[in-house]
Each structure stands twice: as C-alpha cells, then as structure tokens.
Structure 1
Amino acid sequence: MTSAPSPFERFTRQKTVLLTTYKRDGTPVGTPVSIAVEGDHAFFRTYDAAWKPKRLRNNPDVEIAPSTSRGKPTGEAMHATATLLEGPDATRAAQALAHKYRFLHGFLVPFMHRRKHWKTLHYVLTVRSA
C-alpha cells in the first residue's frame, strides 16, 4: 500500500510561490515568498511589521501558486490555510527554510530581521478543508 502524495509535492523544488492573502474587504494581495515543503505541509516566513501578518490574523485562508521571483504566477493556484507557529514548531520551520535556502534564509534574512529589530514570524501552510 502506498501513501497518497503530498498536495504540496509540486512545490518541493519551487524557489518562489505567489502567496495571496486577503484584505478585510476581500481584495486579494499577492506577495512572492520562499517556501519549504515538509510532508503534507509547507513553511514560509515574514516579519511582524509587514502587512501580511495583519491580513492573516483576519483571514488565514490563502492561495499559493508557483511563480517567478517577482511574483508572476507560472502555474495553477491551490487553496491553503496559514497558521502562525511558535516555539519548537517555529524553530522547525526556520530550520527547513535554512536547509533549502542556505544563504538567503540561513543567513541573510535572519540577519536583516535582527538588524532592523523585526520579529521573524513563521507560518505553516496546510490544505484548506472544505
């Protein structure tokens, strides 16, 4: 018996995805982000001063689509739910991102967040239930 493939499998080698979050009025806002896939979920990070966390607090439903580094979609979007991580779960997300993007998320992003005195926020993406 084989297990079902992860819904995030097609994003495993993808460097950037277009993360679409929604304003209170329902207006979609797309932002390119780096993700790391781990089994049936994926991780991304942002910082506390960005608008993304504010939108996610109001509505955790998102769409992700493969994209160029500038955010131009290159494939079909899928629906997901973003959940803020804390403690060991956030550490695991940081490790997964640093493993996939050794320089960018292993050094540069954490350095810039510390330098600017931003709090780094880690999120997990899971398939949105109907």
Structure 2
Amino acid sequence: MTASLVTLGDQRFVSLTTFRRSGDPVATPVWVARDGDGLVVYTSAESGKVKRLRHDAQVELRACDRRGRVAPGTPTVEATAVVDDADGAVDDAEDLLRAKYGWEFGGIRLLQAAERVFRRGGPPRERVVLRLTVA
C-alpha cells in the first residue's frame, strides 16, 4: 500500500470524487478502511457513485470532514475503483469498517434495518464494495 493510501486509510472521512459521462466531478464523503494494498468503501449497489464507476473507474481521493469539506491544500490521490459484489466481499468490508468505526457503523446498520421496516419489509438494498487502489 502506498503512503498516500495509508494516510487516507487513517482518516475518518474521505472525499471520493467520481466522474459523470460529461467529465463533471461528483464528490461524496465516505468511510474507508484498509484492506491489503488498497482501501474499501461500502455502499448501495444503486448509488450514483456505483453507476458512474461502471463507466469510468478513475477516482480522486482527499481527506475531508463529515460534510465532505476539503481543507485548502489537501493533497489529491488519483486512484482506480472496482465495484466488487462477490460473495463475502460485503461481509469482509463490513467487518473492517466495524473495527474502524465501532458504534457509528452499528448505528448505520440500525438505520438500514429501520429503512426496510418503513419500506414495508421490502427486500434489503443490495450492498457492494468499492475497492480503491492507486492508479
């Protein structure tokens, strides 16, 4: 793992910038965890970032705050993202994120369960893992 990814892996929040077909950037604050030589992100399979990544795997990563605000002068890391929906990938990523974020991650899982109840017991939203490596 490169030093830049190690540094980003230590951050509470990372701004993940994906790109529309037009080339316009879309930044989203995400949680990340280290996994081998890269970072993982846990997200909904229907999210905009997943749709954009299916067309352009290049991303930019920057340390940010909870609201996605990036401090002036924060370095940008160019990376490649791969959408991983393989069996076990989501469970493994959940374990890594739970170890890093603790009760906060548990709270997110609780909100996801509540969402299913309010959607009248519909099927859970499919989750995927984004695997981020230096380009």
| Aligned 8 A contact 2:14 2:64 in 1 | yes
Of all paired residues, the percent bearing the same amino acid is 28
- State which of 7, 11, 15 in structure 2 corresponds to 1:10: 7
CA distance in 2 between partners of 1:35 and 1:100 (Å): 9
SS in 2 for 1:58: coil
Spell out the pairing of 1:46-57 with structure 2 (5 A cutoff): 46-57=43-54
Deviation at 1:57, TM superposition (A): 1.0
Across the two proteins, how many residue pairs are aligned to each other?
124
**Partner of residue 41, structure 1:** 38
**2:5 corresponds to which letter in structure 1?**
F
Give the gaps of 5 or more residues in structure 1. none
> How does the TM-score come out when normalised to structure 1?
0.84
Deviation at 1:60, TM superposition (A): 1.2
**1:94 corresponds to which letter in structure 2?**
E
Q: Say whether residues 1:101 and 2:108 are aligned partners.
A: no
Runs of 4 or more, structure 1, over 4 Å off, are none
**Partner of residue 91, structure 1:** 91
**Partner of residue 128, structure 2:** 121
**1:53 corresponds to which letter in structure 2?**
V
**Partner of residue 79, structure 2:** 80
Deviations for 1:61-115, whole angstroms, at most 9, x for unmatched residues? 100000111111131110111112221233221111111011222x222233343
